[in-house]
Amino acid sequence: MAKKSSYTNGNFSINGQTKASTYKKGDTVYTNYNMSDAEKKIFDYAQNSFLESLPQINVFSDDTKAQLRNQMNAYKNQGIENIESIYTPMINNLKNDVASRFGNYDNSTFLNGLKDIENSRSDAISSFAQDMILKQNDLINDELSRRYNYLDFLNGIQNQTYSNALNFGSASAANASASSSSGSGTLGSFSNFANIASNAISLLKYLK
């Protein structure tokens, strides 16, 4: 039967570093999470970057607008070049054919053929104009998605720190509780340690 004892302070250590400590002062039990210098820098960076980025999440700077315009111009020029590469040779071939057969372009064969080509080119231009609108929307959505993913990344780092604090603190409190009831303050629960290890691995994934 476990031997009852007065409340004893607890802690949880990894590789000799105390990650969390628990103590009682008066009728209140306190548990502190001890961040390493590296953890504190990471946590502070995530919080500060989140604070700086959040107000500007849907605001496009002049540089960003210029980049989007440059991409749209490149897409437009490529589209125009593609259309012209299709229909200009068709018109030239028609001219050559009509000139060789009739000696001039003032005839129905040329005019009808030219009309058909121009109608097809007009349809291609109209379709490309719709593509331009879709392309612009895609560029804007891609930029916003990148920003929201970055905020989600920063939020994940902060949440991971909170999770580590809770798990390390729970392990420390469990040691204090074990010490109080059985005189042993050296072991935390295995489940708590497993959670801590899992969270540590998750944090490493964020930092790669």
What are the pLDDT digits (tens) for 47-87?
999 999 999 999 999 999 999 999 999 999 999 999 999 99
Residue 97 in any domain: the answer is no
Q: How many C-beta atoms lie closer than 10 Å to residue 49's C-beta?
A: 15
Q: 148 is in which domain, residue-wise?
A: 10-69+130-207
How many angstroms separate the CA atoms of 100 and 84, rounded? 24
Q: Which pTM was predicted?
A: 0.70
Whether 83 maps to a domain, the answer reads: no
Q: Decide: 185 and 5 in contact? Cβ < 8 Å.
A: no
Q: Is residue 123 a part of any domain in this protein?
A: no
Residue 76 forms part of a structural domain: no
Q: Establish if 14 belongs to a structural domain.
A: yes
Q: Is residue 19 part of a domain?
A: yes
Q: For the chain, what is the domain count?
A: 1
For 87-146, how does the pLDDT look when each residue is reduced to its tens digit (9 = 90+)? 999 999 999 989 888 888 888 989 999 999 999 999 999 999 999 999 999 999 999 999
